[in-house]
Amino acid sequence: MDFDAHTLRVLEYEKITAMLAERAACSLGVDRAKELQPTPLVAFVRERQQETSEARRMVDEHGPFPLGGIHDVRPLLVRAEVGQALTPYEFHDLTSTLQGAGKVKGYLLRHAEKCPLLADRAKGIEEFPQLLGEIGMVIGRGGEVMDSASPQLASLRSRLKVLSNRINERLNQFLSSATIRPMLMDAVIVQRDDRRCLAVRAEWKGKIPGIVHDQSASGATVFIEPMAVVEINNEIRETELQERREIERILTKLTASVARLGSRIHSSVEIVAGMDLASAKAKLAEDMNAVSPVFNTKGIVKLRDARHPLIDPNIVVPISLSFGDPYKILLLTGPNTGGKTVSLKTVGLLTLMAQAGMHIPAGDGAELAHFDQIFADIGDEQSIAQSLSTFSGHVTNIVSILKRVGMRALVLMDELGSGTDPGEGAALAKAVLSYLLSHNARVIATTHYGELKEYAYMRDGIENASVEFDPETLRPTYRVLQGVPGSSNAFHIARRLGMPNPVLDEAERFLDRADVETGEVMQRLEKAKRVADEERRKAERYSRELAEMKTRYEARLRDLETLRREAKERASEEAKVLIRRNTEKMENIIGELRRIGKEGRKTQSARKKMKDTADELIGGIGYERDPLPIDESEAPSVLKKGEKVRVLSLGGMVGDVLGNSDGDSALVQVGAMRVTVPLSQLRRDKSVATPAPVLQPAKANGNGGIAALALAKAQDISPEITLIGLRVDAALPRLDKYLDDAMTAGLDGVRIIHGKGSGQLRQAIWQYLKDDSRVASLRMADPEDGGAGATLLRIRD
């Protein structure tokens, strides 16, 4: 790939990889990030983009990758292969890394459907349970070799404890001796040369037989190993040497186990390094609010709201541009400090990032071409050491580009042809552009030469573009305008920077009239382009708003259809409940007939009950309303008492508003029902008279029959029933049917008028309703409502 060091340097690609490395979880990912280079291979680019997208999806939905505790253990594996024993702490790091790798594998495999590429790679991570078991038997959590590493080690350490206790006992006898204690500087046991000693005052050193191992800097204290403990100290030293040799033997054996698995461990660690890099790319993309670009092989670049990733997000001005077909070269003109070079670098750097597998900071729908080569000639290339002027430095770079350019190259050139005589520089620039055009290269070049602007109009494949300049504020806007060249606005900028007006006036007189006219034309074109772009942006905004309105309207239609479907389903369920209830009642009636066994008054009553039940069942599921059309009229914001309204949630039934609306709802009388209805479910009734809803035969499945029955009964049913003068066997079936109708109509409570008389009918009614599941409570009516001649019944919800 022809992304040489010069191109990467001038586009500041290494700063992007540094940002990527900062987001890696361990040194494995840091190294991968710093080494990451763009690739021209289409398959590799797509794979790298996919891993970034999958990692970003995983981080968004399931949190960060579990990369904690992972270390770069590859140097340890190299040492193990050459037979150099690893330290306990190195084994601890190896254990932590292998366990962490297993967590990463499990994390990805659990969500393989969301990250198929990463999950497939994770299958290559081995978990080495046997090796981890061996290390766990030897190395403790703190990185120490445990007693359980071998029986010999356990025995040696036990011996050391016994010897240590014995020598401490002997030395404590010295410390507690009334004779010896005054001779000591401090009544403590001290270590010198790994030997346990006493701190003796210098003037008493001859009084305690032993070996002098050290003395204090002042000479006032000498550290003596009493002869009584020399043999024990010697035995401790010998035992400690045996312990070290045993530990070395254990670690050497364990290192050999690691060496046997070294290549497999190395492969797993490399896979984990790739996962860390993918995680870092996901974090960088999220921080930049980046998108995954669409790639093509036709050399087309389309960027909208692209942002240079190294400029502060709070001040960067997004750019939008496109080129590649039919225009292969974009000639960018305009004033200095207007953003031409930044636009150049933005396209180049985003292309490098994308072909390295990173998402790019741009708007949705960003499209980039696969390039085999990227060349950049940007900045002041003069070199004192090589005696090169600015012009010579640019020419040297351009010569190198022209020699190496292929058929799929992106070339970025800043201030093309500058640094020499304007006429010669413009002619040379035309020739360079023509050469690159003939090689099918995609080019963005900046210039101030008017001749090149004219050349772009005359030559197919080249398009003029400019960075916008606001003549009112005398400041650049940093937006790119395509299709129109820009003027340098040198006089405007000079005036803004404080150039005296007399100087500017004289400069304008020196300017050739043709140049003045050309500049005025350029300014008019730029203004027209600015106006056209503003109108285009407005049109796009209106189009988006229209699309959003359409989406909301379609969503509303879907919601209405959903409500309608749910209402039918509820009606179906209600029908099933009604059928089951009445079926049970009919079975009870049939059983009663069988028990009676003969025709009589009770038989006739039972048959009447059966007929009434059958009629109710047929009426309950046999009819449904015509489907109501969607009501497009607006819901009222306020309603007054006495207004007539249609209740949408009750199939469009008409009711009277009982009081001024309260907030978002109103109290409405619909037949015998008083209901509080949201204003959104009400419409003002504009008809002179509202006919009763037309009932039609139900469809085969009977859905909606119960809803129709409820609406019909709600209009007709009275909140009270009169049973005065009826016998008990006639009154109870009538009461039973009335309660069913009251429940269907949604009444909360009813009044049963049975009269006072002997009280037999009232007692029979109370006894009949005592265990009825439909009844919430019974009580005698208040004196003003009938007293003992009436019963108030509250229906259970």
pLDDT digit string (tens) for 408-447? Answer: 999 999 988 777 777 888 899 899 999 999 999 999 999 8
Alpha-carbon distance of 329 to 351, in angstroms, equals 16
pLDDT at residue 740 in the model: 81
> Which regions of the chain are under pLDDT 70?
1-2, 337, 380-390, 469-476, 486-493, 496-497, 508, 510-530, 533, 572, 576, 579-580, 583-632, 651, 672, 687-716
**In the prediction, which pLDDT does 90 show?**
94
**What is the structure's pLDDT at 461?**
92
Provide the percentage of residues in the chain whose pLDDT is more than 70: 81
Closest CA to 745 of 659, 650, 647: 650
- Give the pLDDT of residue 493: 64
Residue 512 has a pLDDT of 57
Q: Tell me: the pLDDT tens digits for 354-413?
A: 999 999 999 999 999 999 999 999 875 544 344 456 677 788 889 999 999 999 999 999
Instruction: Note the pLDDT of residue 607.
Output: 54
Q: What is the pLDDT of residue 263?
A: 95
Look up residue 82 and give its DSSP letter: T
β-bridge partners, 294: 367
Q: Do the strands 475-482 and 462-470 form a parallel or antiparallel pair, or are they unpaired?
A: antiparallel
Q: Nearest to residue 135, comparing CAs of 168, 189, 89? A: 89
Q: What is the DSSP letter of 24?
A: -
DSSP helix, strand, coil percent of the chain (3-state; round to 5): 55, 20, 30
66's CB contacts (< 8 A; 6+ apart) are 100, 103, 104, 107
Residue 468 belongs to what H/E stretch?
A: strand 462-470
Residue type, 387: S
User: What are the angstrom distances between the C-alpha of 278 and each of 22, 59, 424, 625?
Assistant: 13, 11, 50, 61
Amino acid identity of residue 552, one-letter, is R
Give the whole-angstrom CA distance, residue 235 versus residue 230: 9
682: part of which helix (H) or strand (E)? strand 682-684
CA 50 to centroid of chain Cα atoms: 16
Query: SS3 of 476, please?
Result: strand
pLDDT of the residue at 748: 84
- The pLDDT value recorded for residue 557 is 77
- How many Cα atoms sit within 13 Å of 86 on the Cβ side? 30
Give residues with Cβ within 8 angstroms of 736, minimum separation 6: 609
Q: What's the pLDDT at 611?
A: 58
pLDDT confidence of residue 408: 92
| β-sheet bridge partners, residue 658 | none
Pairwise CA distance, residues 793 & 780, whole Å:
9
pLDDT of residue 626: 44
Distance of CA 226 to the CA centre of its chain: 72
- Measured from the Cβ of residue 136, the count of other Cβ atoms closer than 10 Å reads 14
Q: Which pLDDT value is given to residue 624?
A: 44
Position 670 scores a pLDDT of 79
In this prediction, residue 410 carries a pLDDT of 95
Token pair for 287: 């921080």
**Contact residues for 145 (Cβ-Cβ < 8 A; gap 6+):** 88, 138, 139, 153, 247, 250, 251
Distance CA 724, CA 731 (A): 9
Distance between CA atoms of 18 and 12, rounded to whole angstroms? Answer: 10
Six-digit token string for 297:
């092989």
The number of residues in the chain equals: 797
Q: How far is CA 301 from CA 39, 190, 265, 366, 597, in A?
A: 17, 77, 43, 8, 94
Residue 171: count of CB within 10 angstroms of its CB? 21
Reading the block at residue 607, the tokens are 């048959």
Strand boundaries in 687-742, DSSP class E:
695-697, 720-722
696 near 626, Cβ under 8 Å? yes
CB-based contact 645:683 (threshold 8 Å): yes
